[in-house]
Structure 1
Amino acid sequence: MNQRKTASKERASGSCPVTYHSNIVTKAERKLSKMERLHLGVVCLLSLLFLLAESGTTTLNDDVLGLIVFKAGVQDPQSKLTSWNENDYDSCNWAGVRCDPKTNRVADLNLEGFALSGSLGRGLLRLQFLETLSLAMNNISGSLSPDFLRLESLWSLDLSGNNLSGTIPEGFFGQCRSIRDISLAKNALLGQIPPDVGSCSTLAALNLSSNQLSGSLPGEIWSLNALRSLDLSYNSLDGEIPGGISRMFNLRTVSLRGNRLTGQLPKDTGDCLLLKSLDMGENQLSGDIPESMSKLSTCSYLSLSSNSFSGEVPAWIGAMNALETLDLSGNRFSGEVPSSLSNLQFLKLLKLSENSFSGSVPDSLAGCRSLLAVDFSQNMLTGNLPSWVSESGFEQILLSGNKLDGPIAIPQVTDSTLQVLDLSDNAFSGKFPMEVSSLRSLKYLNLSFNSLSGSIPVSVGELKTLEVLDVSGNSLSGKIPLEVGLATSLKELRLEKNSLIGEIPIQIGSCPSLAYLDLSENNLTGPIPETLANLTSLQIVDFSGNELSGTIPKQLSDLPHLISFNISHNQLQGDLPIGNFFNKIPPSSVTNNPGLCGSVVNVSCPGVLPKPIVLDPSSSSPDSASNTLFSPSNVSHKKIILSISALIAIGAAAVIAVGVITITVLNLRVRAANSNSAVALVLSDEFSHSPATDAHSGKLVMFDGADPEFSAGSHAALNKDCELGRGGFGAVYKTVLRDGRSVAIKKLTVSSLVKSQEDFEREVKKLGKVQHPNLVALEGYYWTPSLQLLIYEFVSGGSLCNHLHECSASSALTWQERFDIILGVARSLAHLHEHKIIHYNLKSSNVLLDGSGEPKLGDYGLAKLLPMLDRYVLSSKIQSALGYMAPEFASRTVNITEKCDVYGFGVLVLEIMTGKTPVEYMEDDVVLLCDMVREALEGGRGEEFMDERLCGKFPVEETIPVMKLGLICTSQVPSNRPDMAEVVNILELIKCPQDSQEEELC
């Protein structure tokens, strides 16, 4: 009675009696939630019932009890076991359960693919009449119990496709009773195969494949006289294969593929006369093929691939007349291909690739009437193309990487089933075979790197099923046929390294599945066709090394899957498309196009030319002649009779117009300078006006109410000599106010996109009210419809970008200075976000340092001046911010939040700490700084990644947490990034940790 009370109390408190607590609860389960205690209580109760059942003190159905205990020990995320109810009298109607109708006891338990997790409990051992047990394709973990094979009725055990680990316990196979089928494949079992495996005398199938088993193959395994199937593939077994396989007279299939076995095949391998499948591929076996294998007259599958077998393939191979698959690829066989292969009338697949076969491809293979696929690639075969290549019946023929020569002669056929033809990397010559058009089932055609000449025949358009066409590395000439667009199944078109001329046909845009297009290193001219934008599957494009001209179609930016677009070494001009891949295109992909412009090639693009002056012919006022644009309502509608003098005047005007256009074109290069000069003249006249001046003058406003006039030198305010720098929103100039105070003037270069004057002034005044020690103060603005200026305080210390990337080691920022900059920028961003202002364009060049080294953040909130934020943010005007831009900027439906600034801040933190730029352009790749830092931290090399100019002078207890904080801020998921207010708190805690002995110093 006392024991019952104790057990009751223990169950009520969420613990189990000592006698069975260790079987259910681990030491880590001491602190449990209410649900966990409830679950544990159920487990404890069931375990207690289990023990009582074992002692004979209960009459509960053993099957129900065992299955409920098993259920309590696993997780069932898909609720597949909801029908398992402990109140049922029997379990015969439960999911996955089948009972013997005579005994009404569980005979089969099939829970394959139920997504169960957890460990194998003792409950299943109660199923004394269980015959088949399958828990395959779940996530069962833990070690393998030696007791499973104790079930006397069990003849099939399948635990494959789980996460079982540890070694196969000694005595596991020693428990064999009537077991016939064991599969432990696709787990994480390790260690050696126990020698007691030979104890399972009734075993007919053993599958231990795809584990981590090691050591040598135990010779006892050949004692399994009843074994018909043995699969030990894809483990780490080593050593030689022990002799004695001839004792396996019932053996049908053997696979030891993917191990580290050495030595020769056992000489008695061929004595397993019933063997139908033998796979020894991907090992380190060597020597000859044992002659005893000639007796395997029923063997249909033989693979010795990827080993080190040598010598000649014996002629007796033709005696294995049941072979359907013969794979000897990846060895060191030499000599000629045996003609006896023609005896293999059932042969479907023949692979002899990657050997050293010589001589010609035997014509006798035409006698293999069942042959579907032949692979002789990567040998030293010579001679002409065999005549049977185009015969009906073949589906795949691979002869690449040999020394075959002569013309590619393909007879006209009407019923060809050929799908794959690879004759690449040989010495074939002559014309491109026009007869390929008769191969109507062809999907893959590779004739690359031969010596073919002439043009590509228009008949390629008749290959409606063709998916890959590769004729690169030949001497083909002429134009790309327009009919290539008729091959609508094309996925890959490779014509590079030939002598093709003419334009890229627009018909290529009619191949909707095209993903790979390489026309590089030819003599192609003309533009890139806009129809490429129709190819939504396009991933890789290479037009490099041609003479293409014109601009790059802007529509290409809509290609969703593009990962490479190489147009280097051409004559292309203009700006690159905006958005998606083109925002991060590496410079190596566009180099050597003199006319290209944009941030990627570091060449400024010409702006929009000013509209021509239009004079009102109905006005005689001198003032009206200076107006730049008039409404059509001002024009006289009187009928005009053209006299001779009028015609002469019109002709003269036309000549003048042509002259104006010519001069405009010739002066494009000096347009910017002229524009600045013109602006300077406007400023000299208009800056002296107050906001109340007439409608044709500009409006200058200073937020502090000071005199809105500049010094006597203001006529040169926007002169090139006063320019401080250029950014995504415009150029910045330095000038001086009448009171002697220096200011910075930003001339916005996005005039065509700026909102109305009312909206502009509302946004600018909002920015002017935001005051913070770490923000560059906006002090005023100037407005005309064609010119907008922002007036900022002048910050004398230069940009953070210059201090990080242009300073020597002796003048490099110290760790304390870097930390103060990080904290200052964080505080400024937090202040902006508090006022519902998003920066949009955070980067090191927009962080300025004053004379004392205090950081001041500039260019904040300017994108709000534009009517279409997404159009501008994704434009080339801020491609200089590439690397700082959050992933959501690339979305078609841009959702810009404060978390975009957090991402840019994270990148800035890593840039400050490492001294590296946010994006590193390699020859064929683009590497992001955050990826490099993440890899360094994961490898424990965070300290090594700090700016080398610090010379190790930094506290690791600060740098590593700050580096990790930067990575957290660059999370791909916006919701995982902290708020800037949280970032500030974390940084202050890192610098001044609570309860620190140095707290007073902070």
Structure 2
Amino acid sequence: MKQPSSKSKPWRPFTANCCSTEDQTIFKNFSRCKPSRSDLSKNIAPLPSFRRLSFSDLSRSSSTRINEDLAQSFGSDLFDFQLIELRAITQNFSSNFLLGEGGFGTVHKGYIDDNLRLGLKAQPVAVKLLDIEGLQGHREWLAEVIFLGQLRHPNLVKLIGYCCEDEERLLVYEFMPRGSLENHLFRRLTSLPWGTRLKIATGAAKGLSFLHGAEKPVIYRDFKTSNVLLDSDFTAKLSDFGLAKMGPEGSNTHVSTRVMGTYGYAAPEYISTGHLTTKSDVYSFGVVLLELLTGRRATDKTRPKTEQNLVDWSKPYLSSSRRLRYIMDPRLAGQYSVKGAKEMAHLALQCISLNPKDRPRMPTIVETLEGLQQYKDMAVTSGHWPVSSKSTKNRVSNNNNVNVKARAGVNHKQPSPVPSRKT
């Protein structure tokens, strides 16, 4: 994996509580956001500081005032686009250019040529048009500009620029040609090979490790498959920093905040207490590992009640390689490393521990995943193992059918329920 260019400016966070998406003050004490002596000793040129602005100031400010503040802070690092320019490169946000749609708005593909802006190379881009009806949309737009305006890493999506005109709020990112991990796992006809899944998991882990390893850690807070985007070579890059939060400082062990994120991925202690730490991200990462292993969504209301929550359903099968095979993604058709899957399952089990202190740190996770690439063994069958049925007779019959089809080299596509768990 390529390391960040020595010419790129490293991540230097603003003060704690900056750009909280739910605090009353989204810019807090920006005038005191200055680099430390250790930064200066590394010959890092300080970024200009934002003026001290409250969210109420920004709500009443004109778009011109906001653009002046952003331009003062980021200079040439980010491009301040005009709405007319973004309309032109997306053919007026044509539905033919629609890449996706989520809770924060629509994303359209656009094409930038050499003549649009001096210093901006010709390239395809992704333009996010935020729905800012209500306060939250503007806050999340601002949070993304602030975080990604400073963050530079091979496993984070690059923010190219922004647009703030009247009531419109847009973001312009590098285009990720292979879309999201969610699409590949759950919506594509072709399945991701085992080696590609491992590469994606490793890249995403490196992105989170970079965030957590900052001098003032950043908690991503919304890690999930739809926020992991893929480059042409399946390099994973984290996107959507609208819910990102500065980590605890000094003697504080956590950040207290309103619970936000996505059901099924959020850590249980965060849901119950509102206490946010980097270990909250680790839990979410563990859930995504389970999705990569099983090919199932974190939550799926279409499944039987006992199988709707992926964490609860899969936990009994993660500590044994013999039992693990029953829940492996059938779309892998047995083509995966048995040893690698066992260790990934063990890692996922650690990540989703109910005790945050028992969860590994992201650098340890990166090291573990990189070590799995050495395994070249593959499962011995092209079939899948159904585990449970309504009767013992049916279970024996199903297993015999699988063995026959496996020997014949035929993929078994029958649904694979698991034994009911004891309550």
Question: TM class, shorter-chain normalised?
Answer: 0.5 to 0.7
Cα deviation code 1:347-366 (max 9, x no counterpart): xxxxxxxxxxxxxxxxxxxx
Matched, 1:752 2:134: yes
8 Å CA contact 2:78–2:162 kept in 1: the answer is no
Asked whether the equivalents of residues 797 and 848 of structure 1 are also in contact (C-alpha less than 8 Å), the reply is: yes
CA distance in 2, matches of 1:858, 1:905: 14
From 909, 912, 915, the counterpart of 2:295: 915
Aligned-partner residue type, residue 98 of structure 2 = E
Does structure 1 conserve the Cα–Cα contact (< 8 Å) formed by 2:286 and 2:347?
A: yes
Residue 798 of structure 1 is aligned with which of 158, 163, 179?
179
Match of 1:897 in 2: 277
1:775 corresponds in structure 2 to: 156
Q: CA deviation at 1:695?
A: 5.9
More helix by share: 2
1:862 Cα deviation from its structure 2 partner: 3.4
Alignment of 1:122-141 (within 5 A): none
Q: Does 1:982 align with 2:357?
A: no
Does structure 1 residue 953 correspond to structure 2 residue 328? no
Sort the Cα spacing of 1:967 and 1:706 in 2 relative to 1 into closer, same or farther, 3 A: same
Give the Cα–Cα distance (whole angstroms) in 2 for the partners of residues 765 and 697 of structure 1: 12
Q: Percent identity?
A: 36
Question: How far 1:932 sits from its partner (Å)?
Answer: 2.4
Contact 1:839 1:859 in 2 (8 A): no
Whole-Å Cα distance in 2 between the matches of residues 784 and 973 of structure 1?
46
Whether contact under 8 Å (2:81, 2:162) holds in the other structure is no
Q: Distance in 2 between matches of 1:755 and 1:849?
A: 25
Number of aligned positions between the proteins:
292
Identify if the C-alpha distance between structure 1 residues 697 and 840 changes in structure 2 by more than 3 Å, giving closer, same or farther.
closer
Superimposed CA distance per residue, residues 788-811 of structure 1 (whole angstroms, 9 cap, x where no aligned partner): 222211111111111111223xx3
Q: Deviations over 1:347-386 (max 9, x none)?
A: xxxxxxxxxxxxxxxxxxxxxxxxxxxxxxxxxxxxxxxx
Tell me the distance in 2 between the aligned counterparts of 1:728 and 1:918: 18
Q: Residue in 1 aligned with 2:232?
A: 851
Secondary structure of 1:848 counterpart: strand
Query: 2:112 aligned with 1:737, yes or no?
Result: yes
**Matched residues in 2 for 1:725 and 1:763: separation?**
18
Q: Does 1:842 align with 2:219?
A: no
Question: Hey, what's the Cα distance between the residues in 2 that align with 1:766 and 1:697?
Answer: 16
In the superposition, the TM-score normalised over structure 1's length comes to: 0.27
Assess, with a 3 A threshold, how the Cα gap between structure 1 residues 705 and 901 changes in structure 2: closer, same or farther. closer
- Residue 817 (str. 1) matches residue 196 (str. 2): yes
Structure with more strand by fraction: 1
For residue 725 of structure 1, give the secondary structure of its aligned residue in structure 2.
strand
What aligned pairs does 1:259-278 form with structure 2 within 5 A after superposition?
none
Amino acid of the structure 1 residue aligned with 2:280: C
* Change in CA separation of 1:705 and 1:843 when aligned onto 2, cut-off 3 Å: closer
**In 2, distance between residues paired with 1:703 and 1:697?**
13
Give the CA deviation at 1:707: 7.7
How does the TM-score come out when normalised to structure 2?
Answer: 0.60
* CA gap 1:728/1:904 in 2 versus in 1, 3 angstroms: farther
1:955 CA drift (Å): 1.7
Q: Which letter maps to 1:848?
A: L
Higher relative contact order (CA 8 A, sep 6+): 2
Q: Does 1:860 align with 2:238?
A: no
Q: CA deviation at 1:747?
A: 2.6
CA distance, structure 1, for counterparts of residue 291 and residue 125 of structure 2: 29
Deviations 1:176-210 (A, max 9, x none): xxxxxxxxxxxxxxxxxxxxxxxxxxxxxxxxxxx
CA-CA distance at 1:942 after TM superposition: 0.7
Q: Is the 8 A contact 2:141 2:242 kept in 1?
A: no
Aligned position for 1:930: 311
- The correspondence of residues 516-665 of structure 1 with structure 2, limited to 5 A, is none
Cα distance between partner residues in 2 of 1:715 and 1:695: 26
- After superposition, the Cα gap between the structure-2 partners of 1:929 and 1:737, relative to the gap in structure 1 and judged at 3 Å, is same
Alignment correspondent of 2:97? 722
Residue aligning to 2:44: none
The structural deviation recorded for 1:705 is 5.8
SS in 2 for 1:735: strand
Q: What whole-Å deviation, never above 9, does each CA across 1:855-875 have from its counterpart, x for those lacking one?
A: 12211353449xx9944x44x
1:826 equivalenced with 2:185 (yes/no): no
Q: How does 1:301-312 map to 2 (within 5 A)?
A: none
**Secondary structure at the counterpart of residue 913 of structure 1:** helix
Equivalent pair of 1:968/1:976 in contact (CA under 8 Å): yes
Residues 660-710 of structure 1: CA deviation (Å, up to 9, x unaligned): xxxxxxxxxxxxxxxxxxxxxxxxxxxxxxxx9956999986854658453
User: Structure 1 pair 913/856, CA: closer, same or farther in 2 (3 Å)?
Assistant: same
d(CA) in 1 for partners of 2:277, 2:67: 38
Give the SS at the match of 1:798: coil
> Is the deviation greater in 847-856 or in 984-993?
984-993
1:944 aligned counterpart, secondary structure: coil
Change beyond 3 A, Cα 1:741–1:897: same
Contact 1:711–1:738 (CA under 8 A) maintained in structure 2: no
**What SS does the corresponding residue of 2:192 show, helix, strand or coil?**
coil
Alignment CA distance shift 1:781-1:958 (3 Å): same
8 Å CA contact retained: 2:287, 2:298: yes
The 1:762–1:707 alpha-carbon spacing in structure 2 relative to 1, beyond 3 Å, is closer
2:326 match: 944
How far apart are residue 911 of structure 1 and its match? 0.4
The aligned residue for residue 107 of structure 1 is none
Q: CA deviation at 1:923?
A: 5.4
SS in 2 for 1:953: coil
Relative to structure 1, the CA distance from residue 782 to residue 935 in structure 2 (aligned partners, 3 Å threshold; closer, same or farther) is same
Matches within 5 A, 1:300-339: none
Instruction: Report the CA distance shift for 1:828/1:694 in structure 2 as closer, same or farther (over 3 A).
Output: closer
Contact 2:205 2:366 (C-alpha < 8 Å) held by counterparts: yes
Could you tell me whether the CA contact under 8 Å between 1:711 and 1:737 is conserved in 2? no
Q: Write the distance in 2 (CA, Å) between the matches of 1:706 and 1:855.
A: 24
* Change in 2 beyond 3 A, CA 1:732/1:760: closer
Q: Given the alignment of the two structures, is residue 786 of structure 1 paired with residue 161 of structure 2, yes or no? A: no
The answer to whether the 8 A contact 1:863-1:869 is kept is no
Query: Which sections of structure 1, spanning at least 5 residues, go unmatched?
Result: 1-630, 632-691, 997-1002
Contact 1:843–1:884 (CA under 8 A) maintained in structure 2: yes
Write the distance in 2 (CA, Å) between the matches of 1:834 and 1:862: 18
Structure 1 residue 972 displacement after superposition: 1.3
Residues 1-29 of structure 1: CA distance to partner in whole angstroms, max 9, x if unpaired?
Answer: xxxxxxxxxxxxxxxxxxxxxxxxxxxxx
Contact 1:885–1:900 (8 Å) recurs in 2: yes
CA distance in structure 1 between the aligned counterparts of 2:173 and 2:105, rounded to whole angstroms: 13
- In 2: Cα distance, 1:923 partner to 1:766 partner: 40
| Contact 2:90 2:110 (C-alpha < 8 Å) held by counterparts | no
Q: Structure 2: which amino acid aligns with 1:787?
A: E
Please list the CA deviations of residues 37-63 of structure 1 after superposition, one character each: whole Å capped at 9, or x if unmatched. xxxxxxxxxxxxxxxxxxxxxxxxxxx
